[in-house]
Amino acid sequence: DGGITQSPKYLFRKEGQNVTLSCEQNLNHDAMYWYRQDPGQGLRLIYYSQIVNDFQKGDIAEGYSVSREKKESFPLTVTSAQKNPTAFYLCASRDGYNEKLFFGSGTQLSVL
């Protein structure tokens, strides 16, 4: 079955530590996104990528970094510069043909 796989489901970060959230898709989509979800707020865009080796900052990119070395993979690193990382992180992709959005099951990141 085609879809987006995010891992891990739960992640704990110690102060000063960088952590990486995995996002893999087998849908052959070019466009991929990382969103942050906080209680009571809409999804906010962290980074997006239209194509391999290209990515753009979203509204809240500070303290985060991404790479897009393969079409299937779009990992997100939460760096120690992100002072309030506790949130639910969602990876998504967009079908360039019918514009439908696909989401992963999310990663809950908490600070120890």
Partner 1 sequence: KNEVEQSPQNLTAQEGEFITINCSYSVGISALHWLQQHPGGGIVSLFMLSSGKKKHGRLIATINIQEKHSSLHITASHPRDSAVYICAVRPQPPPLSVSYTGNQFYFGTGTSLTVIP
Binding characters for partner 1, 28-67, by CB under 8 A (x = yes): ---x-x-x-x--xxxxxx--x-x-----x-x---------
- Report the distance separating Cα 21 and Cα 8, nearest Å: 7
Determine the Cα–Cα distance for residues 25 and 23; give it in Å rounded to an integer.
7
Single out the segment in contact with partner 1 by CB under 8 A; choices: 16-24, 61-69, 77-85, 96-104: 96-104
- Check binding of 79 to partner 1 (CB under 8 A): no
Residues in contact with 54: Cβ distance below 8 Å, sequence separation at least 6, in sequence order: 68
How many residues at the interface with partner 1, by CB under 8 A? 28
Stretch that binds partner 1, among 11-19, 66-74, 75-83, 102-110 (CB under 8 A): 102-110
Which lies closer to partner 1 via its Cβ, residue 26 or residue 105? 105
Q: Are 109 and 18 in contact (CB under 8 A)?
A: no
